[in-house]
């Protein structure tokens, strides 16, 4: 392995903005031969490096780690993509999210399609979700320094550059100082965790990978302010005790127990845009006091993103707080989200969209808008429930108030019964609104045709509406 590079290395391959940018794997970076990937924009085909990536399979008798693949490139106009599958005959292929409407062409073991804008995709052969190709078609990276800029930055101690190749962080950790910019170039693999702890005005950019040698978060933001993370591939990216954090176009893929993707703990003003999460636990969460952080969470926005939970929840809100306090999780919005999968055997942890406050947490002003859920393997569409889970909490959640589900669609047959339920008269749900809920093409409303007048509207969508719930409306 190469040593950690704190100095800036000028590279001939870094130049001016191009219409298509590919990133050859650096020396020592492990690649995969399961797929061959090429891209072009009217000219010659350009090779795209393919890397192995581990994913979590809970469908087997015991948990198993499977080897999938990953590739990435940048572009700023229409492109053609061509890939060859080397794991066997190709009978069919799908490119997900299905909402993108990408229909691949098949010719033997070759799959081809076109793209007009940046996408985070899964290419699946013969319905295989565990040996798929994760294809990250990025916008051209405006943060990538040119060779000329790198020369000027060479003496800047507040700029850290990782060139293509393998880098092992000393002690598996790098702590970033305030005002620092870190750039991990495409074709680089950094082993360890990049940590922003008690700092401000930090930028962590790039196209390369950041992974601990074993399990854990590749990027960790703790008690910090004004932090930006853009473009990286990592395992987990938690945000705790922080304010004003923006995470853009980051991909988090994990393959071990409790491998949450992008947690929010006791933080405010956190914005996720165009992220991709395929995780071995919850993909995206908003919690209050936990993991050593104290206080409420407010103003969290996750938008334009793709979530895939190989176990647990794609979205989970409110689970943890200070049982002796009065924590609140509020003003949380999930908007324009594609949920590709949810596979959870334990009924207590099902729900593509889950709100399950414990430890005296109050959850309020939550919006799920423009959420498209594909046919999940095992779980529930939604679970809004005040409970007392003694495994993780010491007391019941305080309540849930004002939740909007707007433009929600589910197409599939594997979803179990969804649940909306309070705990008792002192721990209730109130103000749950569904606006344009569509299940397999059928719009669910209080006045929908064919609904018997003695039915609850939830019965038409396989949603159990239990006790201690006020003001559920379907419109």
CATH number, domain with residue 67: 2.60.350.10
pLDDT, residue 121, reads 98
- Asked if 429 and 399 touch (Cβ cutoff 8 Å), the reply is yes
Q: Are residues 266 and 387 in the same domain?
A: yes
Q: Which of 123, 153, 169 is the last residue of a domain?
A: 123
359 in a structural domain? yes
Q: In sequence order, what E strands does 349-447 have? A: 353-355, 362-373, 379-380, 382-385, 399-410, 415-416, 418-421, 429-439, 442-444
Domain that residue 69 falls in: 20-123
pLDDT, residue 61, reads 61
CA 145, 150, 152, 154 torsion: positive or negative? positive
Strand-pair category, 353-355 with 315-317:
parallel
Q: Are residues 296 and 424 in the same domain?
A: yes
Class of residue 223 by CB neighbours under 10 A (exposed 0-12, middle 13-18, buried 19+): middle
pLDDT, residue 391, reads 87
468 in a structural domain? yes
- Asked if 88 and 108 touch (Cβ cutoff 8 Å), the reply is no
Spatial separation of the C-alpha atoms in residues 88 and 86, rounded to whole Å: 6
Q: Which of 123, 149, 184 is the last residue of a domain?
A: 123
> What H or E segment, with its residue span, contains residue 371?
strand 362-373
- Alpha-helical runs (H) found in 155-265: none
87 in a structural domain? yes
113 in a structural domain? yes
Class of residue 375 by CB neighbours under 10 A (exposed 0-12, middle 13-18, buried 19+): middle
pLDDT digits (tens, 9 = 90+) for 347-401: 999 999 999 999 999 999 999 999 999 999 999 999 999 988 888 889 999 999 9
pLDDT, residue 60, reads 64
Report, in angstroms and rounded to the nearest whole number, the Rg of the chain calculated over CA atoms. 23
132 in a structural domain? no
Q: Number of structural domains, the chain?
A: 2
Q: Are residues 423 and 279 in the same domain?
A: yes
Q: Fill in the DSSP letter of residue 147.
A: H
Spatial separation of the C-alpha atoms in residues 63 and 434, rounded to whole Å: 36
Q: Which of 106, 123, 140 is the last residue of a domain?
A: 123
pLDDT, residue 6, reads 36
303 in a structural domain? yes
- Look at residue 321 and give its three-state secondary structure: coil
Listed as ranges, residues in the chain with pLDDT below 50 are 1-17
CA 203, 208, 211, 213 torsion: positive or negative? negative
Q: Are residues 107 and 253 in the same domain?
A: no
187 in a structural domain? no
Spatial separation of the C-alpha atoms in residues 160 and 177, rounded to whole Å: 11
46 in a structural domain? yes
Q: Are residues 241 and 376 in the same domain?
A: yes
Q: Are residues 109 and 243 in the same domain?
A: no
CATH number, domain with residue 310: 2.160.20.10
Q: Are residues 287 and 433 in the same domain?
A: yes
- Asked if 431 and 471 touch (Cβ cutoff 8 Å), the reply is yes
- Asked if 143 and 183 touch (Cβ cutoff 8 Å), the reply is yes
Sequence-ordered list of residues with C-beta below 8 angstroms from that of 455, at least 6 positions apart, any chain? none
- Asked if 210 and 231 touch (Cβ cutoff 8 Å), the reply is no
Query: ∠320-321-326 over CA atoms, to 5°?
Result: 145
Q: Are residues 311 and 437 in the same domain?
A: yes
Q: Are residues 455 and 321 in the same domain?
A: yes
Tokens describing residue 358: 């414990």
pLDDT digits (tens, 9 = 90+) for 421-430: 999 999 999 9
Across the beta sheet with 105-107, what order do the strands follow? 46-48, 35-40, 79-85, 110-115, 105-107
pLDDT, residue 260, reads 96
Nearest Cα neighbor of 64 from 74, 52, 76, 55 is 55
């Amino acid at each position: 392995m190469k040593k950690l590079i704190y100095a800036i290395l000028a590279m001939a391959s870094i130049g001016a903005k191009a219409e298509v940018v590919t990133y050859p794997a650096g020396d020592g970076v492990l690649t995969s031969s399961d797929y061959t990937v090429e891209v072009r924009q009217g000219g010659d085909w350009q090779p795209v490096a393919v890397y192995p990536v581990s994913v979590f399979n809970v469908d087997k008798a015991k948990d198993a780690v499977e080897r999938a693949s990953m590739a990435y490139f940048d572009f700023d106009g229409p492109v053609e993509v061509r890939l060859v599958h080397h794991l066997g005959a190709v009978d069919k292929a799908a490119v997900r999210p299905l909402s993108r409407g990408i229909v691949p062409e098949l010719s033997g073991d070759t799959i081809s399609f076109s793209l007009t804008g940046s996408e985070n995709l899964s290419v699946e052969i013969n319905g295989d979700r565990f040996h798929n190709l994760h294809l990250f078609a990025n916008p051209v990276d405006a943060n990538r320094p040119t060779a000329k800029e790198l020369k000027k930055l060479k003496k800047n101690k507040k700029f850290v550059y990782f060139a293509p190749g393998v880098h092992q962080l000393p002690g598996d950790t790098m702590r970033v100082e305030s005002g620092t910019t870190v750039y991990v170039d495409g074709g680089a693999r950094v082993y360890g965790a990049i940590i922003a702890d008690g700092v401000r005005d930090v930028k962590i950019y790039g196209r390369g990978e950041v992974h601990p040698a074993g399990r854990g978060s590749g990027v960790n933001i703790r008690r910090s302010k004004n932090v930006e993370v853009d473009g990286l591939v990592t395992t987990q990216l938690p945000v705790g005790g922080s304010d004003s954090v923006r995470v853009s176009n980051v991909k988090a893929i994990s393959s071990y127990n409790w491998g949450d993707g992008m947690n929010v703990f006791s933080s405010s003003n956190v914005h996720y845009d165009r992220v991709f999460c395929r995780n071995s636990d919850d993909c995206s969460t908003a919690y209050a006091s936990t993991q050593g952080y104290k206080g409420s969470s407010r103003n969290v926005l996750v938008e334009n993103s793709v979530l895939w939970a190989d176990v647990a929840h794609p979205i989970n809100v409110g689970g943890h707080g200070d049982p002796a306090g009065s924590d609140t999780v509020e003003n949380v919005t999930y908007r324009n989200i594609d949920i590709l999968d949810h596979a959870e055997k334990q009924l207590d942890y099902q729900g593509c969209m889950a709100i399950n406050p414990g430890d005296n947490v109050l959850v309020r002003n939550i919006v799920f808008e423009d959420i498209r859920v594909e046919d999940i393997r095992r779980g529930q569409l939604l679970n809004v429930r005040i409970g007392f889970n003694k495994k993780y909490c010491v007391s019941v959640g305080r309540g849930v108030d004002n939740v909007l589900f707007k433009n929600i669609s589910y197409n599939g047959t594997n979803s179990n019964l969804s649940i909306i339920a309070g705990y008792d008269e002192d721990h209730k749900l109130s103000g749950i609104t569904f606006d344009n809920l569509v299940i397999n093409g059928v719009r669910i409303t209080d006045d929908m045709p064919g609904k018997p007048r003695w039915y609850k509207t939830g019965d038409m969508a396989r949603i159990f509406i239990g006790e201690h719930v006020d003001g559920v409306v379907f419109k």
